[in-house]
Structure formats: C-alpha cells, structure tokens
Amino acid sequence: MKTKQDLKASDKQFIWHPFTQMQDWERSAPIIISEGKGCFLRDLDGKWYLDGVSSLWVNVHGHRKKEIDRAIKAQVNKISHSTLLGLSNEPAILLAERLVKLLNAPLPAPHYARVFYSDNGSTAVEVALKMAFQYWRHTGVETKNSFLCLNNAYHGDTLGAVSVGGIDMFHKAFGPLLFRTFRAPSPFCYRCELQRHHPECGCACLGPMEEILKSHHQEIAGLIIEPLVQAAGGMIMSPPGYLKGVRELCTKYDVLMIADEVATGFGRTGRMFACEHEDVLPDIVCLSKGLTGGYLPLAATMTTDRIYSAFLGEFRDLKTFFHGHSFTGNPLGCAAALACLEIFEKERVVERLQPKVLLLKKLLGEMNGLAHVGDTRSRGLMAAVELVLDKGTREPYSWEDRIGWKVALKAREKGLLIRPLGNIIVIMPPLSITKKDLARLMSVIKESIEEVT
C-alpha cells in the first residue's frame, strides 16, 4: 500500500496534467482528492474543500448522490460496456428517448428527433461539425465547406473543435493544422470589440456577423455558438436578444445553427438549457458535462429529423454517417444520465434553483465595490468576477501576473477549490449547493481577492 507521500511523488513522476505547466506542478504541493460528499471534496491529508467549480463544471447534484451511485452499481451488475456499433443497449435507448422528450418538452411541436452519442464535449462538437458539413453534401450543396464561429469561443480540444475556437492562448499554436473558419465578434459588453454600449447599441455585434453571412453564406455550413455564456473564454454573457438574433440570421442565410450547451446545459443558466431563455431552436445541440450529473464521460449530439433524414439512403449511396467511438452509448454513462435526469424532475431542481440564483447575484453585487473588481456577471449559477489593474480604464492585469491563480491559491488555504480563467474568477458550484455554502463560497472569494490585490 502506497503512503500519501508515495502517491504525491508518483503523481509528479508519472502524470502529465491537462492545461498545466508541469514545471510549476512538479514544484508545487498537489492536492490529491480521495473522496467527495455533496459539494465537498476531501484530500489525502483529510482536509475538506468546497467544490467551487463543480469539478470542472460537471457535477450537478453533488458528489455521491445516492440515486446516481445506485443506478451505476445496478448497471455494473448487468453489464458495464457493450458497443453501439451494430448493437444496442437498454440504458442508451431509454436515455435517447428521454433526451428527445426533454428537449421537445417546452415546444408546441416536436423539433428534435435523434441522439448521437459520444464521450465528451469535444467529441459532441466534432460530431456536430461533421454532421452539419455532410448534411449539405447530401442535399446537393457542395460549397458549404466552412463554419462561422465567434471570437473567444471554446468548444473543446480536438482539432475540429479547436478550429472553431477563438482563444489565442489555447488555439493559436495549432494554427497550421486547423481548417478555415469565419469569425464574428464576441458579444462581450464589458470589453466590446465595437466600443459600443448595451442596450443603446441594439446588439450591434450582430452587424458584422450579418455582413459575413451576407457575403459568404454559400460557403458556411453552420454557425457554432455557446448560447448565452462563452464559458472558457471568460464567462462572457451575451446581452438579451443576441441569441435570438443569431438564430434569425442563421435562418435568413440558410446556415445550420449549432448550440454547444456542453457548459450551459442541465440547469446551469437557471433554465434546463440556455437556448430556452430566448426560445431559440438550434438545428444541432451538443450536450455533455452535466449529462451524467458529472459522474461519467458521456456526450450527446442531438438533431432534427430534417438533418437525420438527409443521411438515409441505400448503402451504396454512401450517405452513412461514418463516425463513432469505442465507448459510444456506454451503458454505465447512460444509466448515470437517466438517474441524473430523474433527479432533475423529482427534486424540481431548476425551479428550486431560483433563490440561489438571486442570492448569488446579490453577493456578486457586493463585490463590485472592491478596488480591483472591474466587472461581475452571472447567469443562473454561472458567475464571474473580472479582476482589473485599473478600474477606471478597465486595464487588465498582465496575464503573466497570474492574478486569478493567486486568488485561487489563497481560496484554497481557506478551504475552497476554484479554477480561474486568467484574470477571471469563475464561480460554478454544483446546483445542489445550499444557500449557506454559497454564501461561504462568496465570502472566501471576496476575502481572497482583498488579500491578493
């Protein structure tokens, strides 16, 4: 049996951590998580931490939620994995039916028809891009070979997802490997690319998007967007009406709308899906993260009958969607997802979220007075505090200062785990967090900002 010290040493010797400068990591004192309960995580040394970012935005109902634990164990006792290529399995069938009903539930008539499974957010996006591209081929349109995406977008780390990403620090290095895209401004009111002000601007950032579509719609298969919140780009929240405007432009110029709800889905924005806020119906929706309650890697790309039926034909027509992964439709993941959705319904999670949403807004508002807080923003239980060097000019801290990271380390000493995005402190606790723990989370962040800036 390895001791705590052995494990720490082996971690540094054998693991290459994601999005991590390993030279820093090798010099640091890593936290090794040994168990979780509700919104808390315990490390090997026995210290408990509040999970302030839901274990990277995935956990929804808390850790060790008994209904999900039970569903996975019951499924293990039947079978853990069988393929969806040429076979099917019960949890995958039940989940697909449930997801289609769930997405159609708020609508007067069914819009979504099919679920294509994969393993993670990036693959859900790859599937969407390939599906959109191939759809046009099947309908006889040969020119739609590109995509329209947004500055500051993040859709995952596989090369297709990186091609439609817009975060230079993460994506620029891979430039020579990426396919060509068109780029529209990010709907970032605090740092507006057009130097305009909302609401007087009337969502002026839709103007350049329309210009691109007007000139290039024959080349554009689809527009991909993180609805309402560009999450990894810095928790950038689009102004009211923007998303609806995007949908209208996609319809006007006959471009498929792909909504990447990987981060925003499953209650995070205060509705089950972000698109519901503006009654927007994308042609393709990507889901992952919270789908299994944050327990297991599973993703779903959902689409309409219009797109699905374009892929039907004789085998020799080669209209088949040649895409699939070893773990597509994994029964354990699907069983976890079914239990997760059952909890949403039984515990009326989204309805009961509203007092927490208001509390978070109020506590965020109280941070606006801090000397180096330039902006605070939230949508549902997704929130951000943007730290600035100079509040008057909005001058950011230099990225090399790693100010967000310093705040996160301070919070860690106080028993809170958060992961910033540059100068932006991200707040995204499990939806099951209590009001008391939410207040504690916010007071630790406030104290940490005060002590570091």
Least Å from the CB of residue 419 to ligand PMP: 11
Residue 154 binds to ligand PMP (criterion: CB under 6 A)? yes
Residues 283-312 that bind ligand PMP (CB under 6 A): 288
Stretch that binds ligand PMP, among 148-156, 308-316, 359-367, 383-391 (CB under 6 A): 148-156
262 binds ligand PMP (CB under 6 A): yes
Q: Does residue 329 interact with ligand PMP by CB under 6 A?
A: no
Structure tokens at 431: 């939806």
In the set 260, 375, 386, 437, which binds ligand PMP (CB under 6 A)?
Answer: 260
| Single residue of 91, 121, 265, 429 touching ligand PMP by CB under 6 A | 121
Whether the ω angle into residue 199 lies within 30 degrees of 0, i.e. cis, is yes
CB of 259 to ligand PMP, least distance (A): 10
Instruction: State the nearest-atom distance from the C-beta of 86 to ligand PMP, in Å.
Output: 26
Return the number of the residue (160 or 245) whose C-beta is nearest ligand PMP. 160
Exactly one of 38, 62, 91, 156 binds ligand PMP (CB under 6 A); that residue is: 156
Shortest CB 157 distance to ligand PMP, Å = 6
CB of 73 to ligand PMP, least distance (A): 24
Choose between 127 and 444: whose C-beta lies nearer to ligand PMP.
127
| CB contact set of 106 (below 8 Å; sequence gap of 6+) | 276
Place of tokens 């780029």: 183
Interface residue with ligand PMP among 155, 217, 268, 356 (CB under 6 A) is 155
Let me know if 208 is exposed, middle or buried by CB neighbors in 10 A (0-12, 13-18, 19+).
middle
Nearer to ligand PMP, 232 or 302 (CB): 232
- Is the Cβ of residue 418 or residue 444 nearer to ligand PMP in the bound state? 418
Least distance between ligand PMP and beta carbon 263 (Å): 4
Residue number with the smallest Cβ distance to ligand PMP = 121
Is position 263 an interface residue for ligand PMP (rule: CB under 6 A)?
Answer: yes
Residue 126 interacts with ligand PMP (CB under 6 A): yes or no = no
Reported for 246-250, long-range contacts at CB under 8 A and 24+ positions apart, including other chains, are 246/206, 246/209, 246/280, 247/278, 247/280, 247/281, 247/282, 249/206, 249/209, 249/210, 249/213, 249/223, 250/223, 250/283
Select 188 or 253, whichever has its Cβ closest to ligand PMP. Answer: 188
* Contact stretch for ligand PMP (CB under 6 A) within 62-70, 107-115, 117-125, 133-141: 117-125
Nearest approach in angstroms of CB 286 to ligand PMP is: 7
Residue of 54, 55, 59, 122 interacting with ligand PMP (CB under 6 A): 122
**Least distance between ligand PMP and beta carbon 154 (Å):** 6
- As a whole number of angstroms, the distance between CA 295 and CA 79 comes to 17
Q: How far is the CB of 413 from ligand PMP (least distance, A)?
A: 26
d(CA 122, CA 18): 14
CA-nearest of 340, 237, 224, 218 to 282 is: 224
Q: How far is the CB of 376 from ligand PMP (least distance, A)?
A: 20
Taking alpha carbons only, the member of 346, 405, 387 closest to residue 19 is 405
The answer for residues whose C-beta is within 8 angstroms of residue 100's C-beta and 6 or more apart is 110, 112, 113, 114, 115, 302
Which residues in 203-232 contact ligand PMP (CB under 6 A)? 226, 231-232
Q: What is the rounded distance in angstroms from the CA atom of residue 328 to the CA atom of residue 435?
A: 37
Tokens 């991909």 belong to which residue? 224
Judged by CB under 6 A, the stretch of 64-72, 257-265, 314-322, 324-332 that binds ligand PMP is: 257-265
Pairing of strands 382-390, 181-184: unpaired
Site stretch for ligand PMP (CB under 6 A), options 259-267, 275-283, 304-312, 441-449: 259-267
**Closer to ligand PMP at the Cβ: 249 or 299?**
299
Chain residues that interact with ligand PMP, rule: CB under 6 A: 120-122, 125, 154-156, 226, 231-232, 260, 262-263, 288
